[in-house]
């Protein structure tokens, strides 16, 4: 009786070892697949950290710009949700399908215009943030590390 229990225990240990080896093999295969991406991301994070550490003003301007963009996106999302709820309420009150269709078409036309306007606002925010960051980056270098800039050409008299 003790011998058969010992054999069952050994069998379980063998299956457990086989399962562990299979899991390890699958894990190493997955690691091999994701390794290039992980290495790239780690490199990007390191370079970003170096850039941010080396230029606190650039980091501040970049974060301020992203905060403005995120605030704009959240505000826009809230306005759109409210407009969508109002459209649904008006649709529910429609008395005939033609009226509902006209109301929906008007709503879609308005949404297209509003989304285009929002894209313009986000573009402006991104542009301003980029300009601010470039100014901070250019201002972070002293005269010895900056490449010489050509003098502006004077118009011939």
Single pTM value for the model: 0.52
Closest CA to 91 of 79, 105, 80: 105
Handedness of CA 78, 133, 128, 48 (dihedral sign): negative
Q: What are phi and psi of 146, to 5 degrees?
A: -85, 145
Check pLDDT > 50 for residue 133: yes
pLDDT score for 145: 42
Q: For 9-25, what is each residue's pLDDT tens digit? A: 555 555 555 555 555 55
112 vs 1, which has greater pLDDT? 112
Distance between first and last Cα of the chain = 113
CA dist 49 to 58, 74, 130, Å?
12, 27, 18
CB-based contact 65:125 (threshold 8 Å): yes
Q: For 62-116, what is each residue's pLDDT tens digit? A: 899 999 999 999 999 999 999 999 999 999 999 999 999 999 999 999 999 999 9
Question: How sure is the predictor about 45, in pLDDT bands with cuts at 50, 70 and 90?
Answer: confident
Check pLDDT > 70 for residue 144: no
Q: Which residues have C-beta within 8 Å of that of residue 57, sequence separation ≥ 6?
A: 136, 139, 140
């Amino acid at each position: 009786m003790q011998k058969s229990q010992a054999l069952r225990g050994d069998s379980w240990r063998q299956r457990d070892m086989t399962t562990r080896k299979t899991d390890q093999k699958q894990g190493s295969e997955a690691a091999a697949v994701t390794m290039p991406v992980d290495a790239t991301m780690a490199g990007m994070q390191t370079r970003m950290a170096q850039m941010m550490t080396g230029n606190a003003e650039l980091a501040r301007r970049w974060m301020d710009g992203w905060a403005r963009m995120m605030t704009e996106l959240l505000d826009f999302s809230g306005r759109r949700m409210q407009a969508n709820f109002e459209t649904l309420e008006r649709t529910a009150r429609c008395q005939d399908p033609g009226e509902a269709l006209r109301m929906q078409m008007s709503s879609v036309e308005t949404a297209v215009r509003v989304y285009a306007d929002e894209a313009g606002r986000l573009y402006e925010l991104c542009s301003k943030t980029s300009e601010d960051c470039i100014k901070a980056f250019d201002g972070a270098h002293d005269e010895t590390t900056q490449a010489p800039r050509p003098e502006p050409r004077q118009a011939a008299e």
